Amino acid sequence: MKIGTKILHTGKETDPVTGAVSVPIYQASTFKQASLDKPGEYDYARSGNPTRGALEEIIARLEGGTHGFAFASGMAAISSIFLLFSAGDHLVVCSDVYGGTYRVLTRLFNRFGLDVSFVDTTDLQQAAGAIKENTRALYLETPSNPLLKITDLAGVASLAKEKGLLTIVDNTFMTPYWQRPLEQGLDIVAHSATKYLGGHSDIIAGLAVVKDPNLAREIKFIQNSFGAVLGPQDCYLLMRGIKTLKVRMEQHQQGAMAVARWLQEQPGVKEVYYPGLPEHPGHMLHKKQASGFGGIVSFRMETPELARQVLERVQIPALAVSLGAVESIISYPLTMSHAAMPPEIRQKAGITGDLIRLSVGLEDPGDLIADLAHAMSSI
């Protein structure tokens, strides 16, 4: 089955009890046992809930994994994955990682003795050079946020195998529709399902997927112990969102490509970052490991003043944090998604005042371009 079919036919799309063609919301915190020594499949809903179970099975199958886990947010999923490690362990993390991931590592997990090095993982030699005696894992985003840099998934997988390290990929920007890291030898996939998987700016949710039974047992233990689980209503909305993932992703990409090409022609625009452009340094590598380019386009204006004016004058995209929704969202990484990064680190990562990130929604691309043209021309 192709991924477009799998999205709708995962084996968990109907309710096994009634045959309802959408999974019901089991709004229950506990489940009655048949007798004292006969516990059922479900007991207490932190440990498991049928609505959540259906979602977890769906994301596992879409990512090509065996076990999925649903969390209260992308950060809850990512933080729960970090709970696999112990004081004294060291992680190698890509340098332009999501701001919240940077914050949780440098301001919370550091308190518990988890040591981190941030490196440009697009250069595998830099990644290899950062590995220490106590390194336990490599953590990356490809394309990265917000500069859409591409890291070689197969290269990272073989480096990690050689050194006995776990590999973790935040697959939020691509979704399993375009890219499936587990199939390329990586160990753990994390998602902010708030973004493309949910797709409608109406929930905060996170997911993790693995294919190794021991790793699955450990994450299940953390999910149940730490307890940052996703509630049944949000599980339902997320499953509803996933049903249209294929058509949304195709359309986001078509719009993003049109906007990126148009931006390249504009005199006020200094640089355009979109992996679908043949000029993008990671274009060929990305094409090898993913089947599409996604809907996020970042670009640099000639000056920070011009960037701020564009952000203030556009009318169709919402000026907001977040991405991956049906409506276009425009953001200013400097003060929004990456505000939690110290200025000198941000500067080094290229997240400066001239940079804009646009999540291209499902509007007619011609209207988006006209809106951007108006915002630029009135400067």
Ligand X SMILES: *Cc1c(COP(=O)(O)O)cnc(C)c1O
Residues found near ligand X in the complex (CB under 6 A): 73-75, 98, 100-101, 141, 145, 170, 172, 192, 194-195, 204, 206
Which of 98/299 has CB closer to ligand X? 98
Rounded Cα distance, 123 and 137, in Å: 17
Please report how close the Cβ of residue 372 comes to ligand X at its closest, in angstroms: 22
CB of 376 to ligand X, least distance (A): 26
Among 12, 26, 61, 98, the active-site one is: 98
State in angstroms the smallest separation of the CB of 130 from ligand X.
21
Q: Tell me the C-alpha to C-alpha distance, in Å, between residue 378 and each of 16, 296, 305, 372, 375.
A: 58, 24, 13, 10, 6
Q: Which is nearer to ligand X, 320 or 362 (CB)?
A: 320
Size of the chain in residues:
379
Q: Tell me whether residue 151 or residue 192 sits nearer to ligand X (CB atom).
A: 192
> Could you tell me how far CA 232 lies from the centroid of its own chain?
21
**98: annotated active-site residue:** yes
Q: Please give the Cα distance from 71 to 69 (Å, whole number).
A: 7
Q: For this structure, is 348 an active site residue?
A: no
At closest approach, how far in Å is the CB of 92 from ligand X? 17
313 in catalytic set: no
**Contact (CB, 8 A) for 210 and 67:** yes
Q: Please confirm, yes or no, whether 202 is among the known catalytic residues.
A: no
Q: Which is nearer to ligand X, 182 or 269 (CB)?
A: 182
What are the backbone angles phi and psi of residue 201, rounded to the nearest 5°? 50, 35
- Structure-block tokens of residue 165: 């390290």
Output the residue with the shortest Cβ distance to ligand X. Answer: 74
With tokens 């941030």, the residue in question is 118
> Which is it for strands 296-301 and 269-273: parallel, antiparallel or unpaired?
antiparallel
Catalytic residues: 46, 98, 170, 195
